[in-house]
Amino acid sequence: MIVAGETRSAYFLQEEETKVETHTLSVLVDNEPGVLARIVGLFSGRGYNIESLTVSEVEHEKHVSRITLVTTATPQVLEQIKNHIARLVPVHRVIDLTSIGDAIERELALIKVSGTGEHRVEALRLAQAFDAKTVDATLESFVFELSGMPADIDRFVKLMTSCGLVEVARTGLAALSRGKDGL
């Protein structure tokens, strides 16, 4: 906010424009060969990074898929990304779920932990605290299933490191806007 009589340098304005933000985009597309490759190619050709990507057909009769992707960019670059995606022929709609606010975001992870004794007991205790479901158990290991906010999954994985974390598989973000309207 600029106060009357206040002067600001152009350097300060440039700093605001280069602030990097993470956004979740939801893209409705025709489910046909090459669509995902074209969108991913758009990102790689311009040097943009995709941090999370999920794709699934959501309307079988109409052959329509939803692509949910997370990217980090400046506001100006983000607008370019959305405009480039929207211009692709098989794209029906592009929604920036972060900009409209209050989106519901969830991710699924499978976490394998190996250990015995106290490490095994601690892994089970932490899994219970995070409401993680045990989907496989042997005498030496567990595989936990955890669904939730990506930050919660990150915390769980970090805590499991001291309990004998072996490997992690994550689905990527699934997101919907709140309210009665759809994409």
In this predicted model, what pLDDT tens digit does every residue of 141-150 receive, in sequence order? 999 999 999 9
Query: From residue 80, how far is each of 46, 58, 83, 94, 146 by CA, in Å?
Result: 10, 26, 5, 12, 35
| Domain harbouring 75, CATH code | 3.30.70.260
* In a domain? residue 72: yes
The answer to whether residue 28 sits within a structural domain is yes
Domain that includes residue 135, residue range = 104-176
The mean per-residue pLDDT over the stretch 83-96 comes to 94
Long-range contacts of 17-20 (CB under 8 A, 24+ apart): 17/74, 17/75, 17/76, 18/74, 19/74, 19/75, 20/72, 20/73, 20/74
Number of independent structural domains in the chain? 2
1 within a domain of the structure (yes/no)? no
**pTM for the full predicted model:** 0.80
